[in-house]
Amino acid sequence: MRRRLAGTGPLVGAHMSAAGGLVRAVERAAAAGCRTLQVFTKNSNQWDGKPVVAGEAAAFRKAAADAGLAPLVAHSAYLINLASPDPVVRTRSVGALVDEIERCDANGIPYLVLHPGSHGGDGEGVGLDRIARGLDEAAAKCPSSGTTVLLETAAGQGACLGHDFAHLAAIFERADSRPRLALCFDTCHVHAAGYDVVTKDGWRKTLDELDASCGLGLVKVIHANDSKKERGCRVDRHERIGHGAIGLKGFANLMTERAFEEVPKILETPKDEEGTWDRDGLAALRKLARRKAG
């Protein structure tokens, strides 16, 4: 694969399908002009995945390096719920998380995004404790791993935790494996959770609150998603950049934010067959980043 001009401009990329193998995801990212890439390293709706083949992992690492894609990010499977009321599900979730962490290590992926989990009616405090304990159990099972688990800010659907920055702070406080944890900030989820990311003052206030509770330095990945629904709706419906309730005004805050300048911004927005929507979304983010020079 030819090396593209991946080294210039803001650090933007997209989640890409790994259908046909992880190397195909790299090709899709390079074709869209990404500088960074998120993938699932296994089926996102199943507990088990095919074991990592060393040769395939090596090919993926080389393809990503040749395409100038860094950092690489993996999103964990949706079934994992460390906060589940069901101890069988919790045990299974810890095992699946360990598997995801080991897949990242094998594929040279430094960051693994994880949904904090749903307490299923047992209450926030109990749920947060279970998450911290689950993270510690997983960390103990892969002590030499170099993968950082990124707790993702949540939209606030049902009994899901992580829609309040205080939840994330509580997990960091309670987990002994804290040095191996950090944050993924999803603009759609934060907006849906009720935080203002659209107005200039609101953005500042939202970031100040995140800084006070967790520390902005913990944000290692940003999911740049517009939202189909209004602020505070607590439902998770991603929209193309500039086509939703956050709009270009909100993404101008993101793309000119000094604290996030070096943080990768990854699209998880609806796609069309030709990849035009991804290219448009990336172009929109790049254009907003250029504003700060003026």
Which region among 170-178, 233-241, 244-252, 284-292 touches Mn ion (by CB under 5 A)? 233-241
CB of 112 to Zn ion, least distance (A): 11
CB of 184 to Zn ion, least distance (A): 7
Which region among 24-32, 172-180, 221-229, 250-258 touches Mn ion (by CB under 5 A)? 221-229
17 token code pair: 């399908």
If the CB atoms of residues 20 and 232 are measured against Mn ion, the closer one turns out to be: 232
If the CB atoms of residues 129 and 152 are measured against Zn ion, the closer one turns out to be: 152
Angle at which helices 276-290 and 22-32 cross, to 10°: 50
33 token code pair: 């002009």
Q: Is 5 exposed, middle or buried (0-12, 13-18, 19+ CB in 10 A)?
A: exposed
CB of 115 to Mn ion, least distance (A): 9
45 token code pair: 């709706």
If the CB atoms of residues 237 and 286 are measured against Mn ion, the closer one turns out to be: 237
Residue nearest to Mn ion (CB): 223
If the CB atoms of residues 133 and 271 are measured against Mn ion, the closer one turns out to be: 271
What are 75's strand-pairing partners? 113
Decide if residue 278 touches Mn ion (CB under 5 A). Answer: no
If the CB atoms of residues 76 and 107 are measured against Mn ion, the closer one turns out to be: 76
Which of 105, 137, 196, 236 binds Mn ion (CB under 5 A)? It is 236
CB of 20 to Mn ion, least distance (A): 23
If the CB atoms of residues 152 and 196 are measured against Zn ion, the closer one turns out to be: 152
If the CB atoms of residues 100 and 186 are measured against Mn ion, the closer one turns out to be: 186
Which region among 43-51, 80-88, 137-145, 229-237 touches Mn ion (by CB under 5 A)? 229-237
Residue nearest to Zn ion (CB): 152
**Chain-centre distance for alpha carbon 229:** 20
Decide if residue 186 touches Mn ion (CB under 5 A). Answer: yes
Which of 15, 90, 191, 223 binds Mn ion (CB under 5 A)? It is 223
Say how many residues touch Zn ion, by CB under 5 A: 1
3-state SS, one letter per residue, for the chain: CCCCCCCCCCCEEEECCCCCCHHHHHHHHHHHCCCEEEECCCCCCCCCCCCCCHHHHHHHHHHHHHCCCCCEEEECCCCCCCCCCCHHHHHHHHHHHHHHHHHHHHHCCCEEEECCEECCCCCHHHHHHHHHHHHHHHHHHCCCCCCEEEEECCCCCCCEECCCHHHHHHHHHHCCCHHHEEEEEEHHHHHHCCCCCCCHHHHHHHHHHHHHHCCHHHEEEEEECEECCCCCCCCCCEECCCCCCCHHHHHHHHHCCHHHCCCCEEECCCCCCCCHHHHHHHHHHHHHHHHHHC
CB of 114 to Zn ion, least distance (A): 8
If the CB atoms of residues 61 and 223 are measured against Mn ion, the closer one turns out to be: 223
Which region among 140-148, 158-166, 180-188, 248-256 touches Mn ion (by CB under 5 A)? 180-188
Applying the rule CB under 5 A, the residues between 118 and 157 that interact with Zn ion are 152
Write out the residues near Zn ion by the rule CB under 5 A: 152
Which chain residues interact with Mn ion by CB under 5 A? 186, 223, 236
